[in-house]
Structure 1
Amino acid sequence: MAVTLGLSALGGALPASGLEPPVVAGLEWLGEAVIPAGTKVDGALVGGLSGLAWNAADGTFWALSDDRSELAPARAVRLRVDLSDGRLDPGDVQVVGQVVLADRDGRHFAPRSLDPEGIAIAGDRLYFSSEGDSNDGVLPFVAEARLDGRVRRYFDIPEAFVPAGEERGIRFNLGFESLVVSPDGRYLYTAVENALAQDGPKADVGVSTLARILRFPLAGGAPEERAYRVEGVRVTPREATAFRINGLNDIVPLGDGELLVLERQYADGIGNEARLYRARWESGDDVTGRARLDADTRPVDKELLVDFDALGIKVDNVEGMAIGPRLPDGRRLLLFVSDDNFNPVGQKTQLLGFAIDESPATIARVQGAGHRSPLEGRWVFDLEGVVTAVVDTRAQRGFWLESEHPDDDPATSEGLFVSWDGAPTLAVGERLRVHGRVVETAADPRQLTVTGLRAEAIVPLPGTGELPPPRRFGVDFEIPFAIEDDALETFDPGSDALDLWESLEGMRVELPGGDVIGPTLRYGEIVLLPEGSVGVRRTAAGGALLEPAGPPRTRVALSGRIHKISDLDVGARVAEPVRGVVHYDFSTYKVVLTEALATTSPERAPCDVETRLTQVSGRLTAATFNVYNLSAKASDERFDGLGRMIAERLGAPALVALEEIQDDSGPEDDGVVTSALTLSRLERAVAAHGGPRYEPVWIDPEPGREGGQPVGNIRVALLFDPMRLRLVRRGDAGALDAARIVTRGGAPELSLSPGRIDPTSAAFTLGAGEGVRRSLAVEFEVDGEPLFVAVNHWSSKWDDDRDFGANQPPNRPTEAKRLAQAGVVRAWVDELLTLDPEALVLVLGDFNEPQWAPGVSRLAEPPLENLVLRVPEQLRYSFNFDGASQLIDHVVVSPALAESAEIEIPHVDSDCAEVRRVSDHDPVVVRFRVR
């Protein structure tokens, strides 16, 4: 009769909450609120909140205190939660009242006669549970009461749950923690935290436990039972005897037998963790009436939805949850509460709010029409697709998922990268349903983010999916000429290359083969110029020249992180279509190959070329060569390669300007600054290949102040052949000592040789960003004539934004630095030429910018000449960056040297696969008559 009256009061067909049960397709965290310790209501302390229920009638949440009528009579407190701004913030929760529980006679429960844990509300009925106390012989119970807290009746508890020593029933403190009415008002659910004594062990480190869920029909009849597998404790306390537990703490039923299940873990010395699962009632064995569960019992299926660790906050002893009202945007609230155990030190009454997203999750919806997901930070559930690629490297582990049912918006990508440690067990073509959190990841703020999913759970779907057809270059998409013409204000894949690639992020694409214009580098990538690319100026080797407007827009980086790319040089031909998935890292979009490349000869450029500008009588040869972070720690093989390069392939020039010479310990932070051993090893390596016994010239830099690899202390240096020219030594210059122009007998000379060119100038002073190598000035004597040499390594572009970076238009602050450095060096040269217009002046090095850039142009203004402009255009490059062959190593001379000068750029490195290189720059060789 009591149950019948209860259903009548509910109206029979209405959901218990007054709202239809939500479809939980996703969650968004709304924030955290804490009820201050010491808060009281009607004189009773607020705390120990272990159960939560929404009362639609008065618009409050009722939270059950697990005070065992010791601090005050057993009670539930009423909470009003203000979510008018769509957020849960401190101060948004108010305690507005309490309801004291009473037995059927209206008397308060006696101290320690119950242990309140779960609470539910349905219409005019209040339900609460007590897990009892098996140690004190207090039996567990589930009660139905009026909204004033007075019990109307007790539910019959199956005998298997009734404690009988250590042989049977609910374990101490692991009983009926949860209680909730189904949305349709038909059932009352509760569950034990861990296995009953006869059903197996309780949860421990690496040991799961088989709990039971009870479902009472509110229309009458015996309860049904299902088993639920609670995970083992996932952490190991330092002390072997330390308390630890994981348990089923609350349940929220949804439609069609789905349940949200809260598991909360605690370990002494470590704290609490919480996870939210989804289970399906009908998926498990019906264990109703079973006295004991065994190993063959099939628990209900469950899937992890949310790991609360991802919130980035300290989660307390979360025990209760409930679905509440609609938020201002129409979504439903899912609220959690923690039990502070009335412990004001180290614990708190914490409320965590989530918005329930009821719109089905699709990959297109996750990606959105933009560079960042509209669902960033949210959890999405039941995201379906087919696996198109799997990656398992130290840097990246996961898979790409693509929708089998794309939408009709070309601006939204249908592919997505899913990070998951279990990815190696997957196969391409598997159909999956995935739960996880939408994330935007980038290595640093200057890079665009990659929209992805951090998987919580992966569920295989029946059958094998057909891979979606790839989007084809030149058929389904074209790459716009403009990278980004509106500073990312609008998303327009039709006019902006940046947006076009974003609209393909994570998707399968197909390129029609083409030419390799960027060789294989150590991280396994090449750059391809696809067939059909037009308007690209090519190098003699088959590369693509950098233009003032930028590199070729149709170039595509290919990554071999799944299918290894062989060691290809510039000019290799990819003969068949290229297929892969679009990804972004290191400031560029790229295609991660999902099939091996089919290449045709020639697979190698002529990387073993030798200069024709060898030493001949009456002429002097010089070269500039960036030797890429060379230190004495480099391998014998590397030094041998450099020695052979200089002695044989460069013809042993009389003078070799060197850039990126490190100190003797290289990247070790040990206080070493000198490069004596580094240069000595290089000298010996050259001699071992029949070269001259060079003498080195260098000045140690200020420690840590001149850029390059951290603590490597790179500097410029010179090797010279004492049999062909004589070093004029004056003084003993330090890092900040300037080689000023002075006169002797009316002729210019350097005050210090070697010395530095205006080393304290602001142009060479470390400011924001990377430091810069100060230029080295050296005076030589050649056949009785003074020769003034300036070796340079100007500011790198490290601090510049990349073309496909997050800042649009890109900020390029280093150009101004190089212009300032050019001005300082040019002033030094002008002073020499003012004193002697026929002076022999050689300015060379790595200028880190092309021939048309402001700094190089300023330095090479008449009467000086940049000799590299004499090199035929198809050969005019010394470096390859992202598939663009470009000239950043220069030789600028005074008129007296220009008249007879010859110049050549032997392409021994920049066109070559990294395994065949000795550096990343090509050297530049010049030959001239002194007089």
Structure 2
Amino acid sequence: MPSKNTSRLAALTVAAVCSTVSAIVLTSPAHADAIRIHDIQGTTRTSPLAGQPVTDVAGVVTGVRTYGSSKGFWIQDTAPDDDPATSEGVFVFTGSAPKAAVGDAVRVSGTVSEYVPGGTSSGNQSLTEITKPAVTVVSSGNALPAATVIDAKSVPAAYAPPGDPAANGSVNALPLRPSQYALDLYESLEGMNVQIGSSRVVTASDAYAELWVTVKPHEHPTRRGGTVYGSYDSQNTGRLQVQSLGTAAGFPKANVGDTLAGTTEGPLDYNQFGGYTLVARELGTLDKGGLERETTRKQKSGELAVATYNVENLDPGDATFDAHAAAIVNHLQSPDIVSLEEIQDNNGAKDDGTVAADVTVNKLIDAIVAAGGPRYDWRSIDPVNDKDGGEPGGNIRQVFLYNPERVSFTDRAGGDATTPVGVTRTDGRAALTASPGRIDPADTAWKSSRKPLAGEFVFHGRTVFVIANHFASKGGDQGLTAQYQPPARNSETQRHAQADAVNGFVKDILAAQSDADVVTLGDINDFEFSGTAQRLEDGGVLWSAIKSLPKSERYTYDYQGNSQVLDQILISPSIREDDDFAYDSVHVNSEFNDQISDHDPQVLRFRP
């Protein structure tokens, strides 16, 4: 597992101002009128003393961080006030490895600062710190302040207060109400020594030695141990990120459904990659839940199986080809058609003008054959260099794999990176003007984003139109713990425009042939209840088939403790009304610490 001194960890909480190295000296106790930590923290999210110097702030060290760019330590007052809104802990930013130790009673002088992890443009809340500190050790080996327990009883059911309209929706200046809102509770504990008991893992360990648990085991549980994200208005308040103050090498490799057992205790931090985080001084032990990767059933002879699978920036230099092939053959049961997202060009992220991806695709096809699967044929369209977003130089695109022993592809010339595909009517049936073809690639909706790939397939004499998509990402959206509530989802503007374009294209197909079988699928980068999905479904021309599953199984992606839908397969009325389709979200990646992609593939089986 990588060291915590990675570029990401370096960005966790880089202090807003430079700090001098802590000076450790011995001196007499502070004056009686010294500022206390709860005076610094105040009753809102920002300190009433921000920007001001403070002298001889008393506390006991509860945690020391020696890695990354956010080196420092947490202190907590042993003489708290009686106001539940005021935190009794604060982070002291030293900038270099601190000399203070856990259990030291210290006096800290410095400047109160409000640092926004990720920068002010992120919309994140700020972290109250003491910067440029001079530190006096009064004594060592002291007992730590008793940890505040975070559990199902203490965390409110409501997530966040509505933001102040006069402050553009910010909650920063609102009085904290920790008994009413989960985010207010967490803010009232910022910097304090907190504790959780045995808690279920709801997002697997990642490469940065962090995982997510829930302290509310009955809050929207998935069938496999996660927590479903099913509505903008119903946030999962029991989610909490856990990191370790120890070495990354000792961090547990947890999957969803495992249990972080016993006591996990340490300071409550706030960072840009998930908000409130228990930085564990004492980490619980891992009890494995035994989660296994799912396997879908094999399609019947009369069923067409169509799948979507985001293979996460796959290029010839990757070591995951055999694993992806095994997933397609063994867990997806070799679907007849597979829409692949994030296939990179033949030299990956090297930005030298290469756009062809035949080496990448054929390497995957060969791996599938070696795994016992069919020798798929494939169709795609190379993008214009550096115009479709994704990793610079990678030129990601969608690719159709299809099993020629089960299905045929209708090739129709004329499709290229810049020519829009259209719909014609021939002998009462719809047809594409080019197959494969791209939907309106010059539309501004697709700026720096992948253009949809449309193709005609024939199964048992019936034409099936398949549209492979990879919509714009959620990058730039404000986090769920943002200071703005509800957080702004700026990225959805582009996805809405993309959904309108795809919806309009499907309407063209159905106008030419009302009973046409149309499958629109891929990484939609948005939820099944989102405005994006609603626009794709507009007019009843499409319907997201994941909604045929029980709510506890509606997820394809796991992010910050939320099992959620990003990948979708939408179907036309002829498929839905036949009521003989089967949909499966095949959980082989998102819940596992050793995932080969962050997305789970989806499979639709139906009879055209």
Q: What TM bracket, shorter-length normalisation?
A: 0.7 to 0.9
Q: Contact 1:278/1:302 (CA < 8 Å) preserved in 2?
A: no
> SS of 1:616's equivalent?
coil
Question: Are 1:830 and 2:510 an aligned pair?
Answer: no
Shift of 1:672: 3.0
Inter-CA distance 556–475: structure 2 relative to 1 (3 Å threshold): closer
Any unmatched runs of 5+ in structure 2? 1-19, 165-170
- On the 8 A contact 1:565/1:597 being kept in 2, the answer is no
Show the counterpart of 1:595.
Answer: 282
State the one-letter code of the partner of 2:265.
R
- Aligned: 1:697 with 2:384: no
Spell out the pairing of 1:252-267 with structure 2 (5 A cutoff). none
Cα distance, 1:627 vs structure 2: 1.3
Spell out, residue by residue over 1:308-331, the C-alpha distance to the aligned partner (whole angstroms, 9 max, x if none). Answer: xxxxxxxxxxxxxxxxxxxxxxxx
1:471 and 1:477 in contact (8 A); partners too: no
Q: Give the match for residue 570 of structure 2.
A: 892
**May I ask how many residue pairs the two structures share in their alignment?**
568
Q: Report the CA distance shift for 1:277/1:787 in structure 2 as closer, same or farther (over 3 A).
A: closer
1:617-674 Cα deviation digits (max 9, x unpaired): 222211111112222232x2x1111111112211111111111222333333333333
- Report the Cα offset of residue 845 of structure 1: 0.9
Question: What is the one-letter code of the residue matched to 1:556?
Answer: L
| Distance change (3 Å), C-alpha of 1:711 and 1:807 | farther
Contact 1:484 1:497 (8 Å CA) reproduced: no
Q: Distance in 1 between matches of 2:72 and 2:23?
A: 23
- 1:670 lines up with 2:352 in the alignment: yes
1:805 maps to which residue? 482
Q: Which amino acid aligns with 1:526?
A: L
Q: 2:498 matched to 1:821? A: yes
Q: Alpha carbons of 1:455 and 1:406: their partners in 2 closer, same or farther (altered >3 Å)?
A: farther
State the Cα distance separating 1:601 from its structure 2 match. Answer: 3.9
Aligned position for 1:519? 204
- Are 1:874 and 2:540 counterparts? no
Over 3 Å counting, the alpha-carbon distance change for 1:703 and 1:550 in structure 2 is farther
The CA deviation string for residues 425-455 of structure 1, in whole angstroms up to 9 with x for no partner, is 5431122233333332222222222111234
Cα displacement (A) at 1:366? 2.6
* More moved, 746-755 vs 469-478: 469-478
Distance 1:732 1:676 in 2: 19
Q: Verify the 8 A CA contact 2:355 2:382 in the aligned structure 1.
A: yes
- How far the C-alpha of 1:881 sits from its partner, in A, is 1.5
Identity of aligned residues (%): 33
Q: Which is further off, 475-484 or 625-634?
A: 475-484
Q: Aligned partners of 2:495, 2:466: CA distance in 1, in Å?
A: 19
What's 1:367 paired with? 41
SS at match of 2:472: coil
State the Cα deviation string for residues 494-513 of structure 1 (Å, max 9, x = none): 33333322221110112232
Change beyond 3 A, Cα 1:663–1:458: farther
> Residues 217-261 of structure 1: CA distance to partner in whole angstroms, max 9, x if unpaired?
xxxxxxxxxxxxxxxxxxxxxxxxxxxxxxxxxxxxxxxxxxxxx
Q: What letter corresponds to residue 701 of structure 1 in structure 2?
A: P
Distance across 2 between alignment mates of 1:443 and 1:502: 18
Q: Aligned to 2:540, what secondary structure does the other structure show? A: coil
Equivalent pair of 2:413/2:435 in contact (CA under 8 Å): yes
1:891–1:593 distance in 2 versus 1, CA, 3 Å: same
Partner of 2:228: 545
Q: Give, in angstroms, the shift of residue 787 of structure 1.
A: 1.9
Deviations 1:399-424 (A, max 9, x none): 21112233333322221222225536
Give 1:670's aligned amino acid.
D
Partner of 1:572: 258
- The residue identity in structure 1 corresponding to 2:573 is P
User: Does residue 119 of structure 2 align to residue 444 of structure 1?
Assistant: yes
Q: CA deviation at 1:587?
A: 4.5
**Secondary structure, aligned partner of 1:869:** helix
User: How far apart, CA to CA, are the structure 1 residues paired with 2:586 and 2:22?
Assistant: 64
Aligned positions of 1:839-854 closer than 5 A: 839-854=516-531
Matched-pair contact (CA < 8 Å) for 1:626–1:921: yes
- Structure 1's 547 and 573: CA in aligned 2 closer, same or farther, altered over 3 A? same
Contact 1:277 1:302 in 2 (8 A): no
Match of 1:383 among 57, 75, 79: 57
- Corresponding residue of 1:462: 139
Pairing 1:904–2:584 present: yes
Matches within 5 A, 1:68-147: none
Aligned amino acid, residue 570 of structure 2: V
SS at match of 1:464: coil
For the aligned residues, what is the CA RMSD?
Answer: 2.8
Alignment of 1:211-290 (within 5 A): none
658 and 278 in structure 1: CA distance in 2 versus 1, 3 angstrom threshold: closer
The alpha-carbon deviation at position 866 of structure 1 amounts to 2.5
2:326 maps to which of 641, 644, 664: 644
Shift, 1:599, TM fit? 3.4
Normalising by the residue count of structure 2, what TM-score does the alignment of the two structures yield? 0.87
Between the aligned partners of 1:278 and 1:427, the Cα distance in structure 2 is 14
Deviation readout 1:668-688 (Å, 9 max, x if unpaired):
333333333222222222122
Does 2:318 correspond to 1:658? Answer: no
8 Å contact 2:261–2:286 — kept in the other structure?
yes
Against the structure 1 CA distance between its residues 359 and 424, is the aligned structure 2 distance closer, same or farther, given a 3 Å change threshold?
closer
Partner deviation per Cα, 1:351-397 (whole Å, 9 max, x = no partner): xxxxxx99623322332322222333344332332111122223432
- CA deviation after TM superposition for structure 1 residue 480, in Å: 5.1
The Cα of 1:475 is off from its aligned counterpart by 9.4
> Is contact 1:485–1:496 with CA below 8 Å preserved after alignment?
no
1:703 Cα offset (Å): 3.3
- Aligned residue for 1:827, secondary structure, equals helix
Instruction: State the one-letter code of the partner of 2:119.
Output: D
1:626 counterpart letter in structure 2: N
Contact 1:509 1:582 in 2 (8 A): yes
Whether contact under 8 Å (1:399, 1:423) holds in the other structure is no
Q: Distance in 1 between matches of 2:601 and 2:152?
A: 41
Aligned mates of 1:726, 1:428 — CA distance in 2: 68
Q: Secondary structure at the match of 1:671?
A: coil
Cα distance, 1:605 vs structure 2: 1.1
**2: distance between equivalents of 1:546 and 1:809?**
15
Residues 1:692 and 1:276: Cα distance change in structure 2 (over 3 Å): closer
Which amino acid counterpart does residue 911 of structure 1 have in structure 2? E
* Partner of residue 6, structure 2: none
Q: Which residue of 2 aligns with 1:582?
A: 268
Which one of the candidate residues 534, 541, 566 is aligned to 1:857? 534
Structure ID, larger Rg: 1
Aligned-residue offset at 1:514: 2.5
Q: 357-366 vs 453-462, which deviates more? A: 357-366
Q: How many Å separate the matches in 2 of 1:276 and 1:510?
A: 30
SS of equivalent to 1:428: coil
**1:302 Cα deviation after fit:** 9.7
- Is 1:506 equivalent to 2:191 in the alignment? yes
What's the counterpart of residue 9 of structure 2?
Answer: none
The 2-side partners of 1:475 and 1:631 are apart by 44
What is the alpha-carbon distance in structure 1 between the residues aligned to residue 321 and residue 407 of structure 2?
A: 25
**CA distance in structure 2 between the partners assigned to 1:278 and 1:918 by the alignment:** 46
Q: SS of the counterpart of 1:681?
A: helix
Asked if the contact 1:627–1:661 (Cα under 8 Å) also holds between the matched residues in 2, the reply is yes
The correspondence of residues 457-496 of structure 1 with structure 2, limited to 5 A, is 457-474=134-151, 477-479=154-156, 481-487=158-164, 488=171, 489-494=173-178, 495-496=180-181
- Does residue 715 of the first structure (1) align with residue 393 of the second (2)? no
Give distance in 2, aligned partners of 1:739 and 1:925.
Answer: 26
* Residue identity in the other structure for 1:569: N
Partner-residue secondary structure (3-state), 1:816: helix
Does residue 616 (structure 1) correspond to residue 300 (structure 2)? The answer is: yes
Shift of the 666–435 alpha-carbon distance from structure 1 to 2, 3 Å rule, reads farther
Inter-partner Cα distance in structure 2 for 1:470 and 1:648: 48
Question: Alpha-carbon deviations, 1:530-579, whole Å to 9, x = none?
Answer: 15x65x22211122111212431122121235364312111122332332
Say whether the 8 Å CA contact 2:221–2:552 is kept in structure 1: yes
